[in-house]
Amino acid sequence: MYIAGLDIGSQSTCAVIWGSGRIWAFSVLPSGVNPQKRGEEALAEALTKSGLTLKDLDAIIATGYGRYQVEAHRQVSEISCQAKGVHFFFPQVRTVIDLGGQDSKVILVDPRTGRVLDFLMNDKCAAGTGRFLELMARVLEIELEDYGKLITQGKEDLVLANTCAVFAESEVVGLIAQGKERADIARAVCKAVAQRVVQLAERMGLAEPIAITGGVARNRGVLHFLEREIGASLLVPEEPLLTAALGACLLEG
Amino acid sequence: MHRPPQWLLKSFSFLLNRKMPFRLLKAYTRWLEWRKPPTDLAQFSYQVTLRSIAKLYGREGKVVWASLFFPSEFIYAFRGLPFYPEIAAGLFAALGFAEIPLHRAEKAWFSQDLCSYHRLGLGASLWRFFPRPSFLLATTSICWGTVSFFQVLEEIFRVPCYILDVPEEYSSEAIRYLAAQLEDLAHTLKEKEGVTFQWEEVFHHAQKALSMVQEIESLRKRKDLLLLPPTKNLDYLPYYYQFMGDEVAVTFFEQLRAFLLSSTQTLPHRLLWLHLKPFYPSPLPSLLEEYGLGVVCEEFTSLFPHELNPLEPFLSLGEKIASLSFHFTHPKARTKRILQWFKEYQAEGAIQFNQWGCRQSQGMNALLRQSLRREGFPILFLDGDHLDRRHNTQEQWRTRLEAFAEILRG
């Protein structure tokens, strides 16, 4: 029995092919402006990698914000899928922090089953999401992956208002105008994101062990400050973008 | 929605402040009642709304504005016409006109952070869209924002405003304290407004309506009967507040009971709905239905059974105010009541739609969540605004509701 899980997020689209208790293949593509088309492309790529065809699939389960825009046998929220997917990699995990492109979530997981016990999502503000990091990277004229390198070079402890992405952007512009070092500003950006996420996580009540997923999980800068703020190390799946799509498969299988 | 030009809004306001259009409306409602006697809840509510508009704007008596927890029975007792601006604000939003008064209030320096029930009420008052009050009656509960709201209204309309001080506790002393204030108020109104109070008929209607509400609650506790469409009962809020003491509430609740008895459709999950809901047209009810999330009990339509004794009217109404206030605003009392509903209604979870800027309800979210989780009941907090659609992200509701339904399914 082969199942495809499709996670159509605001930034990335991921397809996972699951069967006989293992991942056969997966693909990750940027979501772009046409989630339906990108979902089909991601699925086609994963199928090619696995050597299967669409006819071999017993079910397609869609998740992510674009889950209702693709043809699938069933749609499941990304919250349940993340919990299940992370449970596969780390069965002991009790909290999942999912930092996606446009929202952040804190999910309490039952370690016996991988089911969701409770969850909390960020409010309307983009601070604390991948979009925030992208916006600030654009202002700083750096690549997303540069954050991790830059935070080790920073010396001055700058503080960034972390309540509004728009205000924060103008604050960053102000800091550049003041001649502050790029590395110090990048450090402040990562710290602001981490603090925002920790505020959310602490409202929910963090239970260890904690795992982190989503695109931001690859950002070593944010990860560093998150671990410092929480006071615990975080488990990061090898492929933090595929957990929701995998969870979709597992919920069906 | 494009904001209409100023001249159009001014003309609308001018017409609303003339009696003639509403005499014509009254004639139309009489014709409508004769031609099309209401056979369902929608038609009945439509006709009641038209009749109320005709009475209030046609100034068929003293128009008395009251805050939500001020008992309408008091106003009906002196044949006043109760008008609840917080309820009217909901109606404005439901009709899709909220943006106009909200914008007017913001232009007058009322922050977007202010509760939209009050902001909309202020904007509509500045536009003179609401029927001009003879005087204002308010209580210091449900929140202190209400007091400030009524104090600003007093300045806008230059009419007397009487505010009852509601104690934080629910005790015989608190009831007597409220009764004394009500009695003083009645004396003042007799002197200053020349009104007289007749309690028997009003209390008779209110008592009858209340016993009907209890019957309805009993029906909604049954698992084999239809819940109303999710959150629909909150559209009937005027009958629970503004029309208590009027015969119209009795007739409405009779019809509602008949409707509940005649239908057998159910939804897989039984939920409690805390606080209010978005009143403007939104996909929320259909999303709830799609995910099988039925609402069997709403916090704001759950009234307390209390005896209304015409021989002791002030004590009776004092008790009503004290019990309502205490159970809505005291965290422990509110939580205890909610936990009791879980058992009575065999509910599986609760949803609270947080109102933007509402300190009163959100201040106790952490305590509420903690208590419910301890008993094994999940609660979902949705963030947004009940009237101001600019503060909502409807797509985010879907993910949250879907995940909540998945938790309930287990």
Which CATH code fits B224-231+264-309+330-409?
Answer: 3.40.50.11900
pLDDT tens digits along B346-379:
999 999 999 988 877 788 898 999 999 999 999 9
CATH architecture of the domain covering B6-19+59-193: 3-Layer(aba) Sandwich (3.40)
- Burial of residue B241 (CB within 10 Å: 0-12, 13-18, 19+) is buried
Which pLDDT band, with edges at 50, 70 and 90, does B235 fall under?
very high
Interatomic CA distance for residues B32 and B29, integer angstroms? 5
- Asked if A77 lies within 8 A of B406 by C-beta distance, the reply is yes
- Asked if A116 lies within 8 A of B400 by C-beta distance, the reply is no
What are the φ and ψ backbone dihedral angles of B380, each rounded to 5 degrees?
-115, 125
Positive or negative: CA dihedral A63, A67, A73, A75: positive
- Asked if A118 lies within 8 A of B407 by C-beta distance, the reply is yes
DSSP letter string, B87-152? HHHHHHHHTT-THHHHHHHHHTT--TTS-HHHHHHHHHHHTT-SPPPSEEEEES-S-HHHHHHHHH
- Asked if B407 lies within 8 A of A76 by C-beta distance, the reply is no
Look over chain A and give the mean of its residue pLDDT values, rounded to a whole number. Answer: 91
Which pLDDT band, with edges at 50, 70 and 90, does B1 fall under?
low
Q: B396 by DSSP, 3-state: which? A: helix
Q: Is the pLDDT of residue A162 over 60?
A: no
- Cis upstream peptide for B281 (omega within 30°): no
For residue B395, the chain A residues in CB contact (below 8 A) are 65
pLDDT tens digits along A85-137:
999 999 999 999 999 888 899 999 999 999 999 999 986 677 678 888 888 99
- Report DSSP state, residue A154: -
Which pLDDT band, with edges at 50, 70 and 90, does B396 fall under?
confident
Shortest alpha-carbon distance between residue A116 and chain B (Å): 6
From chain A, which residues contact B within 8 Å (Cβ)? 65, 75-80, 103, 115-119, 121, 123-124, 203
| A116, A82 contact by CB (below 8 A) | no
| A81, A248 contact by CB (below 8 A) | yes
For residue B111, count other CB atoms closer than 10 A to its CB. 9
Give the closest of A77, A118, A124 to B402, CB-based: A77
Give the closest of B378, B383, B407 to A123, CB-based: B383
Q: Measured between CB atoms, does B176 come within 8 Å of chain A?
A: no
Q: Measured between CB atoms, does B95 come within 8 Å of chain A?
A: no
* Average pLDDT of span A37-54: 95
Shortest alpha-carbon distance between residue B246 and chain A (Å): 42
Domains along the sequence of chain A with CATH = 1-90+239-253 (3.30.420.40), 91-236 (3.30.420.40)
Q: B409 by DSSP, 3-state: which? A: helix
- For residue B225 the two structure tokens come to 């009967």
Shortest alpha-carbon distance between residue A194 and chain B (Å): 22
Dihedral, CA atoms, A70, A72, A78, A81, nearest 10 degrees?
Answer: -150
Interatomic CA distance for residues B341 and B344, integer angstroms? 5
Q: A243 by DSSP, 3-state: which? A: helix
Question: What's the angle, vertex CA B272, arms to CA B270 and CA B277, rounded to 5?
Answer: 120
More confident residue, A239 or B264: A239
pLDDT at residue B4, rounded to an integer? 86
- For residue B246 the two structure tokens come to 């009027």
Angle between helices B247-262 and B41-57 (to 10 degrees): 160
Name residue A4's beta-bridge partners.
Answer: A17, A60
| A142, A221 contact by CB (below 8 A) | no
CB within 8 Å of B53: residues ≥ 6 apart: B22, B25
Share of chain A above pLDDT 70, in %: 97
* Average pLDDT of span B120-127: 97
pLDDT at residue A163, rounded to an integer? 63
Name residue B284's beta-bridge partners.
Answer: none
Q: Measured between CB atoms, does B367 come within 8 Å of chain A?
A: no
Interatomic CA distance for residues B146 and B351, integer angstroms? 24
Interatomic CA distance for residues B179 and B319, integer angstroms? 8
Give the closest of B378, B393, B399 to A79, CB-based: B399
Domains B6-19+59-193 and B224-231+264-309+330-409 share a fold: yes
- Asked if A116 lies within 8 A of B403 by C-beta distance, the reply is yes
- Asked if A79 lies within 8 A of B406 by C-beta distance, the reply is yes
For residue A208, count other CB atoms closer than 10 A to its CB. 14
Shortest alpha-carbon distance between residue B261 and chain A (Å): 35
Q: Is the pLDDT of residue B186 over 90?
A: yes
Domain extents in chain B: 6-19+59-193, 224-231+264-309+330-409
Residue pointed to by tokens 């409220």: B178
Which pLDDT band, with edges at 50, 70 and 90, does A229 fall under?
very high
DSSP letter string, B211-269? HHHHHHHHHHT-TTSPPPSTTGGGGGHHHHTTTBTBHHHHHHHHHHHHHHHH-----SE
Shortest alpha-carbon distance between residue A209 and chain B (Å): 21
pLDDT at residue A10, rounded to an integer? 86
> Nearest residue on chain A to B398, judged by CA atoms?
A77
Interatomic CA distance for residues A244 and B386, integer angstroms? 32
Strands of B293-298's sheet in order across: B293-298, B269-274, B349-355, B379-384
Q: B141 by DSSP, 3-state: which? A: coil
Which pLDDT band, with edges at 50, 70 and 90, does B262 fall under?
confident
Interatomic CA distance for residues B235 and B214, integer angstroms? 18
| A105, A221 contact by CB (below 8 A) | no
Give the closest of B373, B403, B410 to A119, CB-based: B403
pLDDT at residue A124, rounded to an integer? 63
- Asked if A118 lies within 8 A of B373 by C-beta distance, the reply is yes
Interatomic CA distance for residues B222 and A125, integer angstroms? 42
Shortest alpha-carbon distance between residue B403 and chain A (Å): 6
For residue B308, count other CB atoms closer than 10 A to its CB. 23
> Nearest residue on chain B to A82, judged by CA atoms?
B403
More confident residue, A171 or B206: B206
Shortest alpha-carbon distance between residue B118 and chain A (Å): 23
| A206, A230 contact by CB (below 8 A) | yes
More confident residue, B123 or B3: B123
* Average pLDDT of span B244-254: 96
- Asked if A79 lies within 8 A of B383 by C-beta distance, the reply is no
Residue pointed to by tokens 């008592």: B207
ipTM: 0.79
Interatomic CA distance for residues B199 and B197, integer angstroms? 6
| B38, B159 contact by CB (below 8 A) | no
Closest CA to A149 of A216, A220, A99, A212: A220
Interatomic CA distance for residues A197 and A228, integer angstroms? 12
- Report DSSP state, residue B128: T
Interatomic CA distance for residues A46 and A146, integer angstroms? 29
- Asked if B403 lies within 8 A of A80 by C-beta distance, the reply is yes
> Nearest residue on chain B to A102, judged by CA atoms?
B396
Question: What's the angle, vertex CA A30, arms to CA A29 and CA A32, rounded to 5?
Answer: 130
* Amino acid code (one letter) for B299: E
Q: Measured between CB atoms, does B24 come within 8 Å of chain A?
A: no
Interatomic CA distance for residues A253 and A57, integer angstroms? 12
